[in-house]
Structure 1
Amino acid sequence: MSGLLQEIPQLAKVMNLLVDLFNKHAKKDEDGDDSLSKGELSDLLKAELGEFTSASDKAKADKFFNQLDADKNGTISFDDFMVFTASLHMLLKGLSTKKM
């Protein structure tokens, strides 16, 4: 019985959170697919990163979206999203290391 009550490992929690976050935003429009449109990605970034990002410049936002859209199909797949989140984590780790 104690095995059922074990806490979920922290990395598993983070992985589940990323999957849930992607799915929550990917399903906002009626296209029914498992990808993020430009609008869905913008909503996700605003909701989850807030003031950390600035979407005030449409040209910059479009360039960012195009960089994430690896297969150039006009949407962000889960794989594209995971590459983005991994890159963001590495960037943040590098910035925090430089501050020390």
Structure 2
Amino acid sequence: SRLSIESLIALFQRYAGKGGYNCSLSKMEFLSFMNTELAAFTKNQKDPGVLDRIMKKLDTNNDGQLDFSEFLNLIGGLAMACHDSFLKAVPS
């Protein structure tokens, strides 16, 4: 829905704007996003390098930043993982 899209844009802008350039997430902005919005995920990680690897994988143009399109790949991956978990929890 339009509201969901607007919420995603607002979420991206909230973190992307912290460093002054609001068209992409720097590494620090990405870490802030992950540790705030996805704290349940990050707190359960035993591997301290997991967030660096996630950012590197998402950063398809290798510029050290995540633009909105790259950010949406993260959101899409999370939605797919949640959907898979939901399907596994539903009795057949």
TM-score of the two chains, using structure 1 as the length reference? 0.80
State the one-letter code of the partner of 1:42.
L
Quote the RMSD (CA, aligned, Å). 1.6
2 CA distance for matches of 1:39 and 1:56? 20
State the one-letter code of the partner of 1:72.
N
State the one-letter code of the partner of 1:22.
F
Q: Does 1:25 align with 2:15?
A: yes
The superposition leaves residues 25-76 of structure 1 with CA deviations (integer Å, 9 ceiling, x where unpaired) of 001013x241001110111112212223236643222111100101111000
- 1:89 corresponds to: 79
Q: Which one has the largest radius of gyration?
A: 1
- Runs of 4+ aligned structure 1 residues displaced above 6 Å come to none
**Structure 1 residues not aligned, in runs of 5+:** 1-10
**Which deviates more, 33-42 or 17-26?**
33-42
Q: 1:23 to 1:33 in 2, by over 3 A?
A: closer
Q: Does 1:98 align with 2:88?
A: yes
1 CA distance for matches of 2:39 and 2:49? 19
Q: What's the CA shift for 1:90?
A: 0.9
Paired positions, count: 89
**Structure 2 residues not aligned, in runs of 5+:** none
**SS of 1:27 mapped into structure 2:** helix
TM-score of the two chains, using structure 2 as the length reference? 0.86
- 1:49 corresponds to: 38
- 2:69 corresponds to: 79
More helix by percentage: 2
